[in-house]
């Protein structure tokens, strides 16, 4: 059973510091006879990742929780949020953080292909966000507008950099279109993008809909990862 995240007293920056995790000598994993080299590398990376250790210590469902904590420490979008949509919610780490940072006052509607373990204050839909009926299902479940739409979705990688970028950007564009239908004036949209940031055409459309657009890679993102995040704040209005 997962323990609840520790309550945070007041607002402060850098509240999560995995550097405080005791680091022993690096763990080396021998390649088993039937284990792929890539699997061995993944396991070794997990065992030596201070954010993985911090997530286990603090009761978060994934190390990705710290990405949202670090984004919020910098941009403070969760402070007054009451209704939040979590796209690509599994395993639920971002929803955990959102509830914690709003003192459990927010209502969250999430969606993912994978089953998400129940979390008080959140409703999770098990379905593909790209399905034809997913958008309407989210809108019906939401029952109104949202203060934040946050997306940690990324397309399954193929190993071909350009293809992976295009597929992830297609998810971002779909998430943005949905956001413009449900976001409250002044609201925030956050989405994972790959290195190079948001495509120019999409960025121009976003700038017409939001007062502030920034790109930021939180420290919890692995150094070798090509991911970064676009943070769009101050939603102006619905698309024409």
Gyration radius of the chain over CA positions = 18
192 is catalytic: yes
CA–CA distance, 132 with 130 (Å, rounded to integer): 6
Q: CB of 85 within 8 A of CB of 143?
A: no
Q: Which of 3, 12, 36, 192 is catalytic?
A: 192
The runs of H, that is alpha helices, within 60-199 are: 65-75, 93-101, 134-142, 161-182
Written as six digits, the tokens of 101 are: 């940072």
Query: Which residue's structure tokens are 């953080």?
Result: 97
CA–CA distance, 73 with 76 (Å, rounded to integer): 6
Active site residues: 192
């Amino acid at each position: 059973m997962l323990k609840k995240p520790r309550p945070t007293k007041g607002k402060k920056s850098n509240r999560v510091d995995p550097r405080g995790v005791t680091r022993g000598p690096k763990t080396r994993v021998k390649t088993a006879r039937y284990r792929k080299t890539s699997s061995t590398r993944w396991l070794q990376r997990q065992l030596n990742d201070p954010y993985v250790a911090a997530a286990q210590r603090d009761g978060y469902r994934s190390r990705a929780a710290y990405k949202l904590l670090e984004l919020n420490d910098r941009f403070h979008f969760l402070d007054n949020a009451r209704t939040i949509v979590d796209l690509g919610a599994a395993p639920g780490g971002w929803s955990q953080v959102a509830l914690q940072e709003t003192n459990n006052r927010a209502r969250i509607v999430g969606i993912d292909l994978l089953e998400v373990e129940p979390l008080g204050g959140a409703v999770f839909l098990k379905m593909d966000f790209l399905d034809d009926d997913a958008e309407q299902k989210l809108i019906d479940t939401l029952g109104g507008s949202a203060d934040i739409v946050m997306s940690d979705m990324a397309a399954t990688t193929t190993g071909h950099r350009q293809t992976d970028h295009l597929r992830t950007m297609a998810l971002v564009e779909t998430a943005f279109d949905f956001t413009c239908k449900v976001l409250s004036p002044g609201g925030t949209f956050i989405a994972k993008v790959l290195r190079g940031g948001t495509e120019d055409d999409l960025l121009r459309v976003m700038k017409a809909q939001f007062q502030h657009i920034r790109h930021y890679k939180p420290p919890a993102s692995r150094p070798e990862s090509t991911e970064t995040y676009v943070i769009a704040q101050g939603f102006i209005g619905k698309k024409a």
